[in-house]
Structure 1
Amino acid sequence: MTLTPTEIRALRAETAKARARDFAQANGLTEAALVAAHVGHGATCIDPAPTRLVPMIEALGDVMALTRNESAVHERRGTYTGFGGGGSAAIVLGDEIDLRIFPAHWATAFAVEEPGEEGAVKRSLQVFDAHGEAVHKVFLKPESDVAAFAALVAALRLPDQADTVFTTPAPAPEGPRADPARREALLADWAAMTDTHQFVRIIKQHKMNRLGAYRLAGAPHAQALARDAVTRALEASAAGGFPIMIFVGNRGCIQIHSGPVQRIVPMGPWINVLDPRFNLHLRADHIAEVWLVEKPTRRGPAVSIEAFDAAGELILQMFPKRASEESAEGVDQWNAMARGLASGAPAPQTPPQTEVVPA
């Protein structure tokens, strides 16, 4: 049974406190369909083209950027600066907001105004792909410029304000893909790398994907870690005080945190980073495989910890913050810690946290 927009709004009003994603899944909807049902009732269809939308977000000032996949939610406060590119890829390269954008997957977008706490208005920009899945969201904070939000909506408002959205089913996860006959060629190209960005091109040339290549390459290039390695790495980074990079993405956007992490708070199946300007919410029970990966670069080995779910989908990647931006000491600390996880050496632990904080 397909719900009409009126029925969707009525159901939503009955469960207003439920998270939008949870409500949509519980009622057999895409999240885009849920938001579209509120067009004319707090939601406005706007142009999703990053070349038009993203530069105007800068005028909003300090906001919260959110990018997620099924297993991880990445939230970062900051101002959108340093937008560049277009076509097949674009970037936001600011001091705090750091994004890699894939415009082909920015299919629909909405400006949303809805009731917030204590009578306040909660304002956001929400972008969805062709399958109705959220690729990126921007939430205004008390410090944000509300007049700039109104100007953005006026400038990007679409003529067609439909309260329904057409979506197609999302493709099934690919799973690990590799060709054992190409292992030696893969290893040769891996050893010749001078930049981590070359890796995607290499695995495509060999008709593999990331997880398939890791499984095929094996040590010392890629080593399987225990499933709790991400949590241990976060705890070690907090305890050691060295800055790291955390990448969380989906088909339309990758969001990156660069800096320290401090408060690591478990809550049920979630492991959370709860810092003033950065939050990470990770479903630890979704992690099926974790890999320690080393790739050669001109500046020395790039050592990452990467987590995958049971379907072989990438959940997140963690790196040290680049030596060109910080002293090499933090990189050395990260590398030693990450390699210690592979050898079974215990990682430093932060004191246990007892707060219960919703993710």
Structure 2
Amino acid sequence: MGSKKNTSTHTVAANKTIKAVDFFCSGGGMSYGMQRAGIEILAGIDFDQNCEATYRANIRGAEFIHADVFDLKEKELEKRLSLNKNDDNLLLIGCSPCQFWSIINTSKEKSKQSKNLLKEFHRFVAYFNPGYVVVENVPGVLRRKEESGLDEFIVWLENRHYKVHFKVHEVSNYGVPQHRKRFTLIANRITNTELEPVPVKGKKITVRDVLGEHNGFPKIKQGHKDPTEFMHTVAGLNALNLERLSITPHDGGTRLAYVYDQRLAVPCHYKKTDGFKDIYGRMWWDRPAPTITTKFFSISNGRFVHPNEDRAISLREGAVLQSFPKHYIFKASSIANTARMIGNAVPPKYAEAVGKAIIQNHHKQQLAL
């Protein structure tokens, strides 16, 4: 396929950098990881203006475009970013908000519009015909690929001579200290190679590898507020929750420590030893963290208790478990808003693994020209 691209209808240049536009960019997790891989980010597009300050603070050299993709026109984007159609060096990224397809979402009404975002992204891919396309989402988008528009999109890409990889990947295989399954599509029309994220060799990174005093996280108590950009801020706890944590064993302990105590047990958990045990549970030091959700600051929303301190993990700890570097700046108005931005992000290390696959393929193609 690569040999057919040396025509006047395609923009091909040896040693030319891949340039990307990141749709639904949020706080920049995907953009940052792609930059780390060596891809130039031209712009991030998002409807949520609350993420603009964070994106601009971290994704240097990129433009932030505040726009609703339903209203954004292809020609408008083409002119604003000086994009070319049929550009082999162009990458379009679409990591649309995934609330509608998430198994943990409780309000489908609020997120109905998100189910059509892939179809809107498809419109831009059809117009620009870029060399590469990346889509990242929750596994649910694959389980319901006909309803989500994914089925139609994949068939369309293949008919346009893209080699398409689509699969659910476990991000802990790619340098992220967290168990998290994400659907990823990588479409490549430059070569006949099916591209997959580049895994990290060796043992998986664990909570102990990135958190704790030995990693620059001083001990703090519940309710601690960090006024610096390090953001080692943690939510407060009431007296009952503090008592619960005081008897929860360190390093992986759960609510089973007080399941038979009528005063301490959550009423719906009293004397129940089966079912979901992660709520009010501690993380393990020597395992990757559980999935960091948008509610990771709350101990009642998952296994988000520090392995041995009586508190939830801090905002910065959640960000590091998402593989953001410690110097990444988050600008949001509250703990909840910051946690939402962190929890919704594509882990940068995983984004970098996707970007590396594209960079390696592009380099091979350039050498063949």
Shorter-normalised TM range: under 0.3
Structure with more strand by fraction: 1
Normalised to the residue count of structure 2, the TM-score between the two structures is 0.24
Higher relative contact order (CA 8 A, sep 6+): 2
Structure with more helix by fraction: 2
Normalised to the residue count of structure 1, the TM-score between the two structures is 0.25
